[in-house]
Structure 1
Amino acid sequence: MLLENKTAVIYGGGGTVGGAMATAFAAEGARVFLAGRTPATLDGVADRIRAAGGQAETAVVDALDAAAVNDHLDAVVEKTGSVDISVNVITQAAIFQPLAEIPTADFAAAVTRALTTQLITTKAAARHMVKQESGLLMFFGGSDAANTYPGMGNVQIGMDAVESLRKQWAVELAPHGIRTVTLLTGGLVDSFPEGPEMDGARQSIIDASPLKRAATTADVGAVAAFVASEKGRSITSTQVNVSFGACFG
């Protein structure tokens, strides 16, 4: 197993993407700790992992509360001895409108939320990883400078901001043996809300790929598990493109 005896903490672990990563990590032998604000979704993911023979624990944690995040992570490390993988898939509230139509306060609040939660969780993990001289900080979303579209509102701007944060962590933490990687996807069709109104968005992602395929949450989980493993040890300070070529970041 690629991740045997590893400890992974996933913030937003009850969601579609976080759940897919947690499932893939657990399938490769990791002990996963799912953190989020909704017990029912966290328990649903954990139950599926355990039913498949994996190890999963849950905790209700507000990832915008630094004290709560630190207390939870301290408890995880006390129990397991380390934190080897930290992933935060919590994103900003997406506002798909022309920038001129978005209220300034709404735009600023969304981007601030994304950066704040990422900063809180990565600071907490880095505190332990620096002591260990090892670990992986994994980010999700990525920056695709080659493709910009009207009407995307705050979405790509927020992801670009988080990617800038990841780059700064990379240069500061690399001397301590800590890796930083972003998974760049360009959109996961099976994470979209159901309904014909999303058909156009799904098709545009497929059409953008030279292979005419779209990445799924399972694809993200599989790549995340590889990157987090010893086989992926040379991958750091970069984005990993999980988009079937739709993105050029």
Structure 2
Amino acid sequence: MLLQNRTTIVHGGSGAVGSAVARAYAREGAEVHLTGRTRATLEDVAHRIRDEGGTAHVAVLDAVDRTAVERHAAAVADRSGGIDVCFNATFNDDIQGTPLVDMQVGDVMQPVAKAVTSSFTVATAAARHMVGRGTGVILVMAGGREAIPNLGGSHVAWAALAGLCRQLAVELGPRGVRVAWLLSPGSPKPGEPDPDATRLLLPRRPSYADVANAAVFAASDWASTMTATEINLTGGAVVD
């Protein structure tokens, strides 16, 4: 198993992406710590992980609450002897559907502030426990670089996340901590047609399982030289 005996934290662990990543981490042998704002949905994911033979713990917190995040990271590190992987899949509170010229500044900046604040908060909290051991992986879920109208501040937020990850990578790399972000165009609901498939080079967008498997790879020793990098899962919507 690729993540045997690793301690992982998945922020936003009850969402579609976060829950898929958490289950994949547990499947590969990791101990998973789920965080989010709603206990009931977190417990549902934890129960599924345990039913599948994995280990999961639940903590209710807001990823922008630095005190709560740092307290949780310290508790996890104390309990498990460290933190190996931190994955941020929290929602950025995007406001979409309106052209930028018709939007208020605050509505455009809302997802930017949320994305940067939450990712900075959870990454630095985990990193403080990783650098002492000289190893660790920080991963962030981001969006694409396509030119799509009426997405409000979403693309600005994703670009800011990439910049934050690069900065974290250059400062944490010499201390053994890798940082990467996963680029996805979103995942279609199972069994439903994908209306966006025509703008891809491949015939479909990634499923949540595809995203989760990439997150496993990025967190594992198989990706041990990958840092300050974007993992492109867009099916060709973004061409590098």
Counterparts of residues 124-135 of structure 1 (less than 5 Å):
124-135=125-136
Could you say what secondary structure the match of 1:49 adopts? Answer: helix
Q: Output the CA distance in 2 between the equivalents of 1:234 and 1:208.
A: 31
- CA deviations on 1:26-77 (whole Å, 9 max, x unpaired) are 0000000001110011001100000000010000011111111111110100
Count of aligned residue pairs for this structure pair: 239
Does residue 203 of structure 1 match 2:195? Answer: yes
The answer to whether the 8 A contact 1:142-1:182 is kept is no
Partner of 2:147: 148
Deviates more, 1:112-121 or 1:21-30: 112-121
Kindly state the Cα deviation for residue 181 of structure 1 after the two structures are TM-superposed. 0.9
Name the aligned partner's letter for residue 33 of structure 1.
Answer: H
Q: Output the CA distance in 2 between the equivalents of 1:19 and 1:242.
A: 18
Q: Output the CA distance in 1 between the equivalents of 2:143 and 2:149.
A: 18
Partner of 2:165: 166
Kindly state the Cα deviation for residue 143 of structure 1 after the two structures are TM-superposed. 4.7
Q: Output the CA distance in 2 between the equivalents of 1:220 and 1:116.
A: 23
The answer to whether the 8 A contact 2:12-2:36 is kept is yes
Does residue 182 of structure 1 match 2:174? Answer: no
Kindly state the Cα deviation for residue 173 of structure 1 after the two structures are TM-superposed. 0.7
Partner of 2:207: 216
Q: Output the CA distance in 2 between the equivalents of 1:54 and 1:122.
A: 24
Does residue 50 of structure 1 match 2:23? Answer: no
Name the aligned partner's letter for residue 84 of structure 1.
Answer: D
Partner of 1:227: 218
Name the aligned partner's letter for residue 167 of structure 2.
Answer: Q
Counterparts of residues 1-249 of structure 1 (less than 5 Å):
1-96=1-96, 97-144=98-145, 147-190=146-189, 202-204=194-196, 206-249=197-240
The answer to whether the 8 A contact 1:17-1:217 is kept is yes
Identical pairs, percent: 38
Could you say what secondary structure the match of 1:92 adopts? Answer: coil
Kindly state the Cα deviation for residue 165 of structure 1 after the two structures are TM-superposed. 0.6
- CA deviations on 1:125-157 (whole Å, 9 max, x unpaired) are 11111111110000111452xx21221211111
- CA deviations on 1:192-216 (whole Å, 9 max, x unpaired) are xx9x9xx7xx412x11222211101
The answer to whether the 8 A contact 2:138-2:180 is kept is yes
Q: Output the CA distance in 2 between the equivalents of 1:77 and 1:233.
A: 22
Moved over 3 A (4+): none
Could you say what secondary structure the match of 2:132 adopts? Answer: helix
TM-score, with length taken from structure 2: 0.95
Deviates more, 1:147-156 or 1:220-229: 147-156
Q: Output the CA distance in 1 between the equivalents of 2:69 and 2:202.
A: 41
Deviates more, 1:120-129 or 1:207-216: 207-216
CA root-mean-square deviation: 1.7
Name the aligned partner's letter for residue 116 of structure 2.
Answer: L
Kindly state the Cα deviation for residue 20 of structure 1 after the two structures are TM-superposed. 0.4
Could you say what secondary structure the match of 1:139 adopts? Answer: strand
Q: Output the CA distance in 1 between the equivalents of 2:64 and 2:116.
A: 10
Query: What are structure 1's unaligned runs of at least 5 residues?
Result: none
TM-score, with length taken from structure 1: 0.91
Q: Output the CA distance in 1 between the equivalents of 2:159 and 2:55.
A: 34
Kindly state the Cα deviation for residue 175 of structure 1 after the two structures are TM-superposed. 0.5
- CA deviations on 1:73-102 (whole Å, 9 max, x unpaired) are 101001100100001111321222211111
